[in-house]
Amino acid sequence: MLKKILLVIVLFLFSANYFILYSQNPKIDGYKGIWYSSGPNTKYGYRFSGGVSTFGSRHRPIAIYSPKARKTFFVYGGTTNAEEQHLLIMISYFDHRSHMVPKPVIVYDKMGVKEPYDNASLAIDDEGILWVFVSGYLRTRPGMIFRSTKPYSIDAFEMVKEIEMISPQPWWISGEGFFMFYSKLSKGLELWCSSGTDGKSWTAGQQLASMGGSLQISDVHEGKIVTAFNYFPKGDIDRQTNLYFLQSDDLGKTWQTIDGKPVQIPLTDVENDAIIRNYEKEGKEVYLSDLDFDSDGNPVILVIVSGNPDPGPDAGLKNWFVISRKVGTWNFNKVCESTHNFDRGSIHIEGSEWKVIGPTEQGPQLYGTGGEVALWISRNGGAEWQKVTDVTNNSINNNSFVRHPLNAQKDFFALWTDGNANELSKSYLYFTNKKCNKVWMLPYEMKEDFRRPVRIR
């Protein structure tokens, strides 16, 4: 009997401490990104490694500009110090009036998890409530949904739901509610989607694809929901290939190809109507980076195409392609080359000007993930590309995982991280302006509650 009483007391104290910790949502004294390495350390490095606080394209969006608050809110994978390296789900914002940032806030401590696969995504509803969707892994490490207790405030969050979801991609559609793409691990990494109005109640998950494993990137344009995805031959995530596309204009009730042909889901055969290009038959890998829309509302997809999943010169160069839709045909236009399959960048389209921002240039850790960031521009619908400027240069560590905020503004236009691709290091966070001719570093150490980021270029 005594043991039972003691157990109840322990559970109560644990619950009380848990509530106190996450109702207060403690702050961290600076922007400390998490470092990670995946796969064996070969002669030319890891499958991917370095700073991963803005990892990856499968977690989207991670930054959103709010015109009402005049702030760009963003989430990232943080940690307490360079040596400890366990994942903290962090949130903060850039104030476009004061040009300052506050101390970042812990939304959730992943308690020993080191992998960036558990990073979070962000949504903002019509009332200004901030929603943080934390990726989980299987049922033993479920995903979680948090909401801010006040509009446009990062001070306090409450958890509203645990849900089995990997790589959540939540989109708030004004007047409708949430539509979320995510993954589950069953017969490989399967693609799913669901919708909801209040963040707590969700429709039964709808399976989109089960082809042994897939990754996807999604977006929403004028009520149209789209997703582009690849697949893993024999379930091997290191062999990503093929490119597929689906769209829905009725919140996922029905799905179509790009030209409006109805598609029955889930897709289980590799050869299906949603395929854009069969890279597998060409012996090519395809890695998803970003997605945007042209002035006519057509999807534009940024990918890296390579002949080998391994890092290093023997694997060949990695080709950046922009895939767009013109006159009923998919067009494949090369932007540039880089040296790693995980050199992730972002694409932004505004009128006739198309921009790609990413680590396309050689960095200090040769053949490692990332490099020096550059800006590439096309003014003829993606047909031809020109490097306009080197956004970073003479970096100590490789820059990686460049992300573009939703509704991005001119003074906070792209966000990324850095880190030594060869060994454990500190990882800093950076952002640039619309012209990409200035770069700021978020403060790694902060004593004051608010501080201006340090301009380094």
* Domains of the chain, residue spans: 27-455
Phi, psi for residue 117 in degrees, rounded to 5: -60, -20
Q: What is the pLDDT of residue 5?
A: 43
- Inter-residue contact 398 to 371 (CB < 8 Å): yes
Q: What is the pLDDT of residue 17?
A: 39
Torsion of CA 440, 293, 135, 419, to 10 degrees: -30
The Cα–Cα gap between 93 and 72 comes to 5
| 3-state DSSP assignment of residue 210 | coil
Q: What is the pLDDT of residue 23?
A: 53
- Inter-residue contact 342 to 287 (CB < 8 Å): yes
- Inter-residue contact 82 to 35 (CB < 8 Å): yes
Q: What is the pLDDT of residue 85?
A: 84
The Cα–Cα gap between 76 and 52 comes to 9
Q: What is the pLDDT of residue 2?
A: 44
Predicted confidence pLDDT, tens digits, the chain (457 residues): 444 444 433 334 334 333 334 457 999 999 999 999 998 888 888 999 999 999 999 999 999 999 999 999 999 999 998 888 899 999 999 999 999 999 999 999 998 899 999 999 999 999 999 999 999 986 678 899 999 999 999 999 999 999 999 999 999 999 999 999 999 999 899 999 999 999 999 999 999 999 999 999 999 999 899 999 999 999 999 899 999 999 999 999 999 999 999 999 999 999 999 999 999 999 999 999 999 999 999 999 999 999 998 888 888 899 999 999 999 999 999 999 999 999 999 999 999 999 999 999 999 999 999 999 999 999 999 999 999 999 999 999 999 999 999 999 999 999 999 999 999 999 999 999 999 999 999 999 999 999 999 999 9
Q: Output the CATH code of domain 27-455.
A: 2.130.10.120
Q: What is the pLDDT of residue 19?
A: 38
DSSP state of 203: P
Contacts of 176 (CB under 8 A, 6+ apart): 195, 197, 251
